[in-house]
Structure 1
Amino acid sequence: MSEIGTTESLSFKRELLSTLPNLRAFAISLAGRHDVADDLVQDTIMKAWAKQDHFEPGTNMKAWLFTILRNEFYSQMRKKGREISDPDGIFTSQMAVHPEQYGSLDLQDFRKALDQLPSEQREAIILVGASGFAYEEAAEICGCAVGTIKSRINRARNRLQELLGLESDEEFGPDASSAAVTKRAFAV
């Protein structure tokens, strides 16, 4: 391998490794299980490494990897043919741990509401809201127009607000009685 090829390979490797935390977070949001997400990230990295000659240096590697991960996830879902149904929450309740703080309860409620969104809306809001992608990057990953991503995110936000029963931004955080205690404690 030439010196230029070695330099490009090292640069590719560094950039690939720098995206691992974001890839894992996205994989967990798609798969819902850490072990499945780790396998998904590993499959993504292996495919990207094997196809690194298809990556154009100077373009957005993060978006390229997220696209590979997303496509791999949907391919695996198609292969499975079906998912385990848990309408009564029996399996979920066995895996759940009783939260010790209000924040844990809020996060649990949010996760349930997020899971009720259509997959396109959930994917769009996770890419932009949680993973920090710009609308344009999310549109590229999902293979749709920027306006479509904006519409999906708007519908997702409205639906989450409805599912969580929120009427204003002030409803986030501790309830009124907890907030009053906190205010008094910091006022002293």
Structure 2
Amino acid sequence: MLSTSSSPPSTEFVSLLTEHQADLWAFIISQLPGNPEVGDILQKTNLTLWTKREQFAPGSNFRAWAFSVARFEVLAHLKKHKRGNWLIFNDELLETISMEAPAAIPESSLRLKLLESCTAKLQPQHRDLLNHRYQSKDGLASYAKQCGRSVSSLSVTLHRVRATLRKCIETGLAKHLEKGDVV
């Protein structure tokens, strides 16, 4: 059992919880597509996981346990908000989705590692373009001025860089599957 103090087991728990946030988000969305309260349900799931952290056995499948807790949070939300104007699945379909979603949601940590690795292989000017596009508040027009290129040429380059990254990540995933790694 994990302790409630700020000892290493709690640090380990926080690490596991952080590592699985994207997967939990995707799992909740799969059950409540279009629902604007997915973020709130994820927060409730995180709070419940934290509250019940002593029930988690280190070395067991944290992801499966977290998905189970998320499933109960989704059900509680649906019960509380029966008359929402978003899409609500019938119980049988929701059960099917909750059983199949964990296998359909790939481990995001491998994809993130592959993205970092693939990004590092890019030419420096392409990394700069990506950084500007996804981390700067300025648009492509300001970057185009800065580097003396047209916005349309930067858009084309950005499209090609994304395609290169996608191919690199897919190749990396395929290599992990060939080795028998779980994705």
TM-score (ref. length: structure 2): 0.48
Looking at both structures, which has the greater relative contact order when contacts are Cα pairs under 8 Å and sequence separation is at least 6?
2
